[in-house]
Amino acid sequence: MSAVLETVPSRFRAMSYADLATVMAIERRAYPFPWTETIFRDCIRVGYRCRLLEIHSRLESYAVMSIGAGESHLLNLCVRPESQRHGLARWMLEHLLELAGANAVKSMFLEVRPSNDRAIELYHTMGFCEIGLRKGYYPAARGREDAVVMAKEL
């Protein structure tokens, strides 16, 4: 985490239904194929770790992670578009790895678009390794896009 981030008023907290309007506004701006509000509602309802990062009381990043049977699966990690490239995704990922470790998780998995070079670079620098490919996993402008499957042992 950068020294600048350590000095700003910030906090991680659980996502609630009351946060969904803001989450959805960010999600729609960040992704060409955003999750729906129903997906987020279901994730909160079933007890996935839905986490927010607030800086100066403004929602800057959110993530959704499932945990079960000694494994975690990072399902969504997003940073407000105008706040990207400042280390917030790394900070959120560090938080999720700590949370996973505190819940006796031994491995974390995720999928990422092969076209998302910045995310792949982040995951590599955080110790994730490519372990597979899911064909046609993501919707795309023309058909479907594959997903790179990555994993990290904790």
> Can 48 be counted among the known catalytic residues?
no
- Of 48, 62, 123, 138, catalytic: 123
Q: Which two tokens stand for residue 154?
A: 């904790």
> Can 111 be counted among the known catalytic residues?
yes
75 and 39 in contact (C-beta within 8 Å)?
A: no
Question: Which residue is it, tokens 């007890």?
Answer: 47
Nearest residue to 153 via CA among 99, 118, 108: 108
Sign of the dihedral defined by the CA atoms of residues 93, 96, 102, 104, in that order? negative
- Of 37, 71, 111, 130, catalytic: 111
**Catalytically annotated residues:** 111, 123
